[in-house]
Amino acid sequence: MSNVYVAIMAGGIGSRFWPKSRAAKPKQFLDILNTGKTLIQLTYERFLDIVPKENIYVVTAEDYTSLVKEQLPDIKDHQILKEPVRRNTAPCITYACHKIYTANPNATIIISPADHLILQQEKFSGVINKCIDFVKDNGLLVTLGITPTRPATGYGYVQFVDEHSASGFYKVKTFTEKPSLEIASTFLKSGDFLWNSGMFVWKAKTILEAIRKYLPEIGDAFRDGENHYNKPSEDAFIKEAYSQCTNISIDYGVMEKADNVYTLPAEFGWSDVGSWESLYEIYNHDYLGNAVAGKNVKIYDSANNMIMVPKDKLVVLQGLRDYCVVDTGDVLLICEKSQEQMIKQITVDLKVSNLDKYL
């Protein structure tokens, strides 16, 4: 696997997980699953089954460099790609793929978010290895699709059509972002839609050609750095390159437009752990459906709640149903699970009220 690399995207601030996830330490650097390991540590270890540790790169915000080094001590400085500003996934992926391609023009690259949960490691490794073999010689882009189990409205969807020569891979027809419940139910019944996992596998050469075609400004900004990647001048060059980039996702900028995108329907116990509701679904529940992280939580006549409080703090709940209760010491959040989309608006309101220290 010397030609196979992983780029872990770890620059987001996880605003939907406020107040647990903060700008100074977002969710990928938290042990939000109560496993003793943070999400980025779990992601890194997941790929050690597939590639050598020197082939794993992390793309993150400059401010999080020390967190990456602290939590992934085996990562070398040149494996940490520092984004000077956040510009969504297209610049992030372009940077990583250019840097790796400069070091190895024959590279195959796996792109993965840092903050997803995968429960079935053996199945996951099998799927990734199948994708690596598939893209090896045919100039195709693969987006991993997850076989849906319910009409989830918090995920993006990919629609697939013709199978590629009995390979198990299907051509992608459409991408749809976070549909309504009615549309998601229709997708589920149709049988030709998958959840969009946000994970990709491709040859470095293939994706860079697609970026130059569909996002030429971004492609040009990073292509000019071939004399800077993996050299002392890299940081200064990247600051200049990011100043030329628009804020755009790889899905919208490239994958929705390209005609060589394929997907592999897969099941390996995946969740994007994107919200308190999704975390609630992952946690163990008591007989009344309460998911609890905290040692001294006393519950009376309460059901179907997501509760995360300091380990030694005594918290008593009575008469609460379908709520999210999160106590971080300096912030207490109590909101209906069905209204958690309000959290993003709350964080905006806090900025307006000059309460940034709580974000």
What band does 223 get if pLDDT is binned at 50, 70 and 90? Answer: confident
What band does 122 get if pLDDT is binned at 50, 70 and 90? Answer: very high
Cα(289)–Cα(304) distance, integer angstroms: 4
pTM above 0.85, yes or no: yes
Is pLDDT at 154 greater than 90 in this prediction? no
DSSP code for 75: -
Query: What pLDDT is stored for residue 262 in this prediction?
Result: 96
Q: Across the chain, what does the average pLDDT equal?
A: 93
- What value does the mean pLDDT take over residues 76-102? 96
Query: What pLDDT is stored for residue 293 in this prediction?
Result: 92
Can you say whether the dihedral through the CA atoms of 117, 119, 125, 130 is positive or negative? negative
What band does 200 get if pLDDT is binned at 50, 70 and 90? Answer: very high
Can you say whether the dihedral through the CA atoms of 328, 13, 29, 31 is positive or negative? positive
CB-CB contact of 65 with 78 (8 Å): no
Helix axes 89-103, 216-223, angle to 10 degrees: 40
For 160-195, what is each residue's pLDDT tens digit? 998 887 789 999 998 888 888 899 899 888 888 999
- What value does the mean pLDDT take over residues 129-149? 93
Minimal CA–CA distance to 13: which of 64, 79, 58, 57?
A: 64
Query: What pLDDT is stored for residue 75 in this prediction?
Result: 96
8 against 164, higher pLDDT? 8
Reported for 300-304, long-range contacts at CB under 8 A and 24+ positions apart, including other chains, are 304/337
For 266-289, what is each residue's pLDDT tens digit? 999 998 888 898 899 899 999 999
For 45-56, what is each residue's pLDDT tens digit? 999 999 999 999
The answer to whether the bond into 19 is cis (omega within 30° of 0) is yes
Tally Cβ neighbours within 10 Å of residue 313.
12
Cα(57)–Cα(314) distance, integer angstroms: 41
What band does 341 get if pLDDT is binned at 50, 70 and 90? Answer: confident
Superfamily of domain 4-141+196-260: Spore Coat Polysaccharide Biosynthesis Protein SpsA; Chain A (3.90.550.10)
Query: What pLDDT is stored for residue 1 in this prediction?
Result: 65
Residue limits of CATH 3.90.550.10 in the chain = 4-141+196-260
**If you count them, how many residues does the chain have?**
359
Cα(288)–Cα(303) distance, integer angstroms: 5
Share of the chain above pLDDT 90, in %: 79
What band does 342 get if pLDDT is binned at 50, 70 and 90? Answer: confident
